[in-house]
Amino acid sequence: MNTIQMNLFDYFYEDESFTTKEATEVINTVKDMKVNDESVRARIYEGVERGIFSKISRGVYQVTSQIKGKETRCLLINGDGKDLSSIPDKSIDGIVTDHPYSLVKSLKGGNRNFAKYELFRYEQNDFTEKKRVLKEGAFLVEFLPEENEDNMEYLYSIKKMAKDAGFRYYSKVSWSKGTFVSNTGRKSSNCEDVMIFSNGKPRELRLNQKRNLQIARENNLDVKGKSSYEVRDILEKHGLEIHYMSGTSKMLPTAFDYQPAKAKEKIHSAEKPVELLEDIIHCISKPYELLLDQFGGSGNFAIASLNTNRNVIVIEKDEETYDKMKENILNNSNDTVQEDKENTIEIEL
């Protein structure tokens, strides 16, 4: 998808439709790209052919992947996850990612090299860009290695860069890998850290049970013995306002305890279990919101997002990994997505 199509896709994502005239105005006035009408029209026609847009009537179009009812979409990008320039400001509801960090000692065991992919270290601009694309209050989740002599300073610098970019530290939760134990380094380990930041004040995702119970009782609704989620559903059914508090949708656990896949079963060496990612997704977002994984790897985050009714953008730079990731997503997503494969959008930057 070229830049014009990407901008139109993002701008009209939630609109019922858009006209050729509106598209041209957005590209030239809002995006300040100074492109003639013919070029915009040609890009729209190409988008229709590729399934990005749908033609409703003469000169009227619709973003094919807009959210309708319970549809969700996965946008796959074969490109550099550090380059978020094509993603509009404040358009993402949450980022969950595991960057391929360059920590030599942490990725070697004896003569074994655990990382067979391009590595790098975050820089300040990486967090500046993450903050730019995230909505206010949205959560940033970074998978990071457990602290040791080799990575101590780098892990500290990540927190500092996030803070300097305007993020707030929210919490750190360990991912406990079940029965798996790594015997590299100075001590046996079976954990990684899940570091959580918020873009400014954390958004309101946690149900305010006290206030919701009060509203239910004021309206003579029987909620005795009901859970906070059941009370929410009852209020929603009766068209009553549901109240939330600042923070993740639930109290975070002392640890996320999920067994990783066996090495021979993995698509990617740094692969995370789908169930773990689903748990995190539930904590930081609502259904039908748009999430981002900048370094796709196995593609399990896309599967977890679709399984939990979230829209998702997944970026992967390595072409071979990208092909495996795409196959994994198409083969292992839930039934609805498998039946709707033709609407999964694949783009290249």
pLDDT of residue 186: 53
Q: Are strands 92-97 and 345-348 parallel, antiparallel or unpaired?
A: unpaired
Could you give the count of Cα atoms lying within 13 Å of 149 in the half-sphere of its Cβ?
5
Domains of the chain, each with CATH number or no CATH: 3-63 (1.10.10), 74-202+248-348 (3.40.50.150), 207-244 (no CATH)
Mean pLDDT by 10 residues, the chain (349 residues): 68 77 86 81 78 76 56 81 90 93 56 58 95 96 84 91 97 84 58 94 93 94 89 86 92 91 76 92 92 92 90 89 87 49 36
pLDDT of residue 78: 86
pLDDT of residue 127: 97
Angle between helix axes 124-133 and 152-165 (nearest 10 degrees) is 40
Side chain identity, residue 26: V
Angle between helix axes 3-11 and 37-49 (nearest 10 degrees) is 80
CB atoms within 10 A of CB 160: 12
Q: Are strands 191-199 and 134-145 parallel, antiparallel or unpaired?
A: antiparallel
pLDDT of residue 156: 92
Q: How far apart, in whole angstroms, are the C-alpha atoms of residue 6 and residue 43?
A: 10
- 291 backbone φψ class: left, alpha, beta (φ>0; ψ -120 to 50): beta
> Which residue is listed with tokens 């803070």?
163
